[in-house]
Structure 1
Amino acid sequence: MKTASENLTCTSKELFFLLHDLKDGKPAGDCRIDDTLANQKLKETLQQDKFDITANLLNRMDTSPSRVDFLPLHRLITEEEVEDVIEAVKDVLPTGQFTSGSYIGVFKAEIAALLRKNHVMASSSGTDAMIIALKAAGVGQGDEVIMPANSFAATENAVLAAGGTPVFCDIDPDTFCMEPSEIEACITMKTKCILPVHLYGKRPDMEAIAQIADEFGIPVIEDACQSIGVSNLGKNSLCAILSFNPYKNLGTCGKAGAIVTDNPSFASACMEYMYHGFELNQKNKKKADYGFNAKIDNLQAAIGLARMKYLSLNNLKRLYLADRYMTHLQQYEDRGLIKLPQMTDDQVWHLFTIKIINGNRDQVKDMMLKFHHVQTDIYYPILSHHQNTPLVKANYQHTSLPVTESVHKQMLQLPLYPALTVEEQDKVMEALIDVVS
């Protein structure tokens, strides 16, 4: 925690220590929180009279649930958030400014304040943001980009759309993120960029990755689409990419994303690619040969602002739910039945991923649903170099990633989202324990 005279920005490291303070019974009202929009609802919650960590952070049910769904879409946005979004839409609709408009600048400013970044370019999706960042970093036809193979297809698709060639790097078995010690073996004369992924909300070892990149003079772009709110985002890279897909920790009501950076010339290049190659602050005057129609819509920016004020509160809820999983399941890891993720301060818990050590992962998944009506998931069921596509057949038939492949057979995602109730989480744990035991 910071000293009493300093305010908390409430990124992942500070939320980590805040949760431990609250669990130790320290008064919530003593916490000094930055006045950024992302912290608004967290501040209001902590200032409630007779604050109780479980009662005020987590949801409860009157009866035991008969079923637990993995990610019920109708519960990813609360009634209070719905009302805020409706008000935002009502503000925008009469203006006719659905694409360009004033909310875009405010949205970018709030993201910059949250992440302490100098430049934010808000885009039409996380994928578009990544394509643009790769192009602005100089990736072109035949250039190689080092990346993991256990991410969502958008990561490799962005590389391919920029003209690049994915080169798959093995991962750390505990973090599921790119293993820095494997990077150097992937570097060739064609390597143009290193693209680590913040998988499931976990920050990779960016310091180690940046050290290797600096030695070879290769830029790093962080795919941080699942980790808004993580501490030191973009500190050790050229830029970081965000996604505001509705499933993310901060979502709009459609597709949106962003590039965040401290490099002004890179930011300018990104803005040119983002909007038709036009020169900045000039109407329809092209500077680049071409560009995309990939700026965020004013309507989505307004919705993003309406939802942003819940971000730090929701990230703290995710952290607390992850902490409950860790506490109650630790003895089963000690018995060698499962492997839990690491409880660290560089994680925003977009997903909670365990490894099944005792038994077949697919059977555990099926039995939890069949006998306990608890739905789990294998979020990315097929690795990039195992996809059944002409590109894979032509270029990746002999690619071997032993750690990635081994871990992939064990990984299982348990339900974790801000509206998950204590009773539902308890049912998930009871089901898992029954099946793996």
Structure 2
Amino acid sequence: MKDRIPILDLVPEVEFLWDDLMAAITRVLRSGQFILGPEVETFEREVAEYLGAKHAIGLNSGTDALVIGLRALGVGPGDEVITTPFTFFATAEAISLVGATPVFVDIDPRTFNINPELIPPAITPRTKAILPVHLYGRPAEMDSILAIAEEHGLKVLEDCAQAFGATYRGKKVGTLGHAGAFSFFPSKNLGAYGDGGLLVTNDDGVAELARMLRAHGSRRKYYNEIIGYNSRLDALQAAILRVKLPHVDRWNERRREVARRYNQLLAGVPGLVLPEVSEGHVSHQYTVRVLGGKRDGVQRRLDGLKIGTMVYYPVPLHRLPVYGYPSGSFPWAERLATEVLSLPIWPQMGLEAQAWVAQVLARVLKKK
């Protein structure tokens, strides 16, 4: 193909929604109300109904959703939170920002998610919560995680940044634990056209505290009760998200179709481990494992052939300088960090482009 194939192309989505987007943006501009207000409140009601949650609190970012979620669940200085080292930095960063300590547990190489069997040995008297991540849009093994949390009296905050619309045993992720944190970064399955985030919960007290925390710790303006944040989803982003929300299930199904097609096109290619694709998985990324120490070379070669890829993530969190665990602490996370490679995927990705990606990848691996 002549044109470069990016890791993600949002232009078809924007073109498809153009008239509705312009109408929504114009509605907000003419309202003169840009921070919180009716547009955000309506989106919160609509997204809560979609997810099956009692409360949805619009926030400034997915990172803020994690921070505010942890604080609203009572996590703070001196506490420990068990999580995965194989995720974006914000997962552990949020734990550190509230004064707690992230305690890492290795992952299951089949799912890329935290291995529940390894959680109980990591629990100490200081453990306050478990923070599972639904990585690449695949739900973590929540039955086991929730059972462990109940047995030990722990809170569960789900990191759903990559998993909007994913389901686990018929329930939307984010509603399984005590609270769920979502990101609306533009590349997400439901993405804004700027930053945005969401916290959902069925707990009235958690919701009330989260709403206070997003508005400088106040229930009403100027009557601040606790130290909080300036973390409000703005009306323009809420309006954009309202336009996109009705389409998200169809787009998620198309992502699954693209992922299944990749699995067919790449079946039997030596040196690749392909991901499982289930109905509950929303295929935020299509991530393969490139074996034999070839990943970086394969990525460079694909880039030279105008195929965009990404490595999510090249350094497991425990090996970053801010945490600095010794090498070998979590062997699967460390190994997969050298093997994972995410291929181009978006709902409107055409068969021709996808077949070209698979063909070129197979050819590159054959030459290695």
Q: Same fold (TM over 0.5)?
A: yes
Which amino acid counterpart does residue 84 of structure 2 have in structure 1?
P
Q: How does 1:135-284 map to 2 (within 5 A)?
A: 135-231=71-167, 232=171, 233-279=173-219, 282-284=220-222
Distance 1:237 1:284 in 2: 33
Q: How does 1:45-84 map to 2 (within 5 A)?
A: 64-72=1-9, 75=11, 77-84=13-20
SS in structure 1 opposite 2:155? Answer: coil
Distance 1:272 1:217 in 2: 25
Closer, same or farther in 2 for the Cα pair 1:142/1:399, shift >3 Å? Answer: farther
Q: How does 1:298-309 map to 2 (within 5 A)?
A: 298-309=235-246
Distance 1:208 1:317 in 2: 29
Is residue 322 from structure 1 mapped to residue 259 from structure 2 by the alignment?
Answer: yes
Q: What is the match of residue 428 of structure 1?
A: 357
Q: List per-residue Cα deviations over 1:222-276 (Å, max 9, x = no partner).
A: 0001111011213431011111111101111111111111111211121121212
Distance 2:40 2:175 in 1: 24
Q: List per-residue Cα deviations over 1:166-216 (Å, max 9, x = no partner).
A: 111100001100000011121111111110101111100011111111111
Name which of 221, 227, 249 aligns with 1:290.
227
Closer, same or farther in 2 for the Cα pair 1:76/1:218, shift >3 Å? Answer: farther
Q: What is the match of residue 95 of structure 1?
A: 31
The answer to whether the 8 Å contact 2:289/2:341 transfers is yes
SS in structure 2 opposite 1:436? Answer: helix
Which amino acid counterpart does residue 202 of structure 1 have in structure 2?
R
Closer, same or farther in 2 for the Cα pair 1:330/1:69, shift >3 Å? Answer: same
RMSD, matched Cα: 1.7
TM-score w.r.t. length of structure 2: 0.94
Distance 1:140 1:212 in 2: 21
Distance 2:76 2:328 in 1: 23
The answer to whether the 8 Å contact 1:358/1:436 transfers is no
Which amino acid counterpart does residue 184 of structure 2 have in structure 1?
F
Distance 2:335 2:126 in 1: 29
Q: CA shift at 1:65, angstroms?
A: 4.5
The answer to whether the 8 Å contact 1:65/1:423 transfers is no
The answer to whether the 8 Å contact 2:51/2:175 transfers is no
Q: CA shift at 1:398, angstroms?
A: 6.1
The aligned length equals: 362
Is residue 392 from structure 1 mapped to residue 330 from structure 2 by the alignment?
Answer: no
Q: List per-residue Cα deviations over 1:134-174 (Å, max 9, x = no partner).
A: 01111111211111111111111111111111111100001
Name which of 306, 309, 315 aligns with 1:376.
309
Closer, same or farther in 2 for the Cα pair 1:66/1:284, shift >3 Å? Answer: closer
Distance 1:68 1:247 in 2: 16
Identity of counterpart residues, as a percentage? 36
SS in structure 2 opposite 1:128? Answer: helix
Name which of 328, 348, 360 aligns with 2:282.
348
Which amino acid counterpart does residue 249 of structure 1 have in structure 2?
N
TM-score w.r.t. length of structure 1: 0.79
Q: List per-residue Cα deviations over 1:350-404 (Å, max 9, x = no partner).
A: 000001125511111122233x3322221322221222x3x334xx246700111
Which amino acid counterpart does residue 325 of structure 1 have in structure 2?
Y
SS in structure 1 opposite 2:258? Answer: helix
Structure 2, unaligned runs of 5 or more: none
Is residue 414 from structure 1 mapped to residue 343 from structure 2 by the alignment?
Answer: yes
The answer to whether the 8 Å contact 1:75/1:419 transfers is no
The answer to whether the 8 Å contact 1:84/1:307 transfers is no
